[in-house]
């Protein structure tokens, strides 16, 4: 158990809908990262937050957004969902603002029908 928690574990929704994925980092970690893992793209970095502020963006679509709250938990919002958004979404956390060793949560499996 990495200490990172993610909810929900599974999510099934329809195209065009909007969903919110939640992540709680390890106690004491200030950085949260979001990744998408699909069969054809592997693990892709989406976005990084440190202590409530966005630090870096990766391959994140404009339909996706994220935020980190004062209690350091983070949410990833996915809107206007398409079939291709079906994937595993992982959250990871680390202590520092630098993305060194990251500890991953169990992931949320999103299925868009």
Stretch that binds other proteins, among 24-32, 67-75, 79-87, 93-101 (CB under 8 A): 93-101
Among 28, 42, 62, 70, binds other proteins (CB under 8 A): 42
Cα distances (angstroms) measured from residue 77 to each of 18, 22, 57, 89: 7, 9, 15, 11
# residues contacting other proteins (CB under 8 A): 22
CB of 53: closest distance to other proteins in angstroms? 14
Asked if 2 interacts with other proteins (CB under 8 A), we say yes
Q: What are phi and psi of 84, to 5 degrees?
A: -70, -5
Among 8, 16, 58, 84, binds other proteins (CB under 8 A): 58
Angle, CA 45 vertex, CA 112 and CA 48 arms, to 5°? 110
Q: Dump strand ranges (E) for the chain.
A: 5-7, 10-13, 19-24, 31-38, 42-50, 53-57, 64-68, 74-78, 87-94, 103-104, 108-112
Report 22-41 residues binding other proteins (CB under 8 A). Answer: 33
Stretch that binds other proteins, among 14-22, 63-71, 72-80, 99-107 (CB under 8 A): 99-107
Q: Residue 101 corresponds to which tokens in the numbers above?
A: 């060793």
Query: Would you mind telling me the total number of residues written for the chain in this entry?
Result: 113
Asked if 52 interacts with other proteins (CB under 8 A), we say no
Among 43, 53, 63, 80, binds other proteins (CB under 8 A): 43
């Amino acid at each position: 158990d990495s200490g990172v928690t993610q909810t929900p574990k599974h999510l099934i929704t329809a195209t065009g809908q909007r969903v919110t994925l939640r992540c709680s980092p390890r106690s004491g970690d200030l950085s949260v990262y979001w990744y998408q893992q699909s069969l054809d793209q592997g693990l892709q970095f989406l976005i990084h937050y440190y202590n409530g502020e966005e630090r870096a963006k990766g391959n994140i679509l404009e339909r996706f957004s994220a935020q980190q709250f004062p209690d350091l938990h983070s949410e990833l919002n996915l809107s206007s969902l398409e079939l291709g958004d079906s994937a595993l979404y992982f959250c990871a956390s680390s202590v520092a603002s630098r993305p060194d060793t990251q500890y991953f949560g169990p992931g949320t499996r999103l299925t868009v029908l």
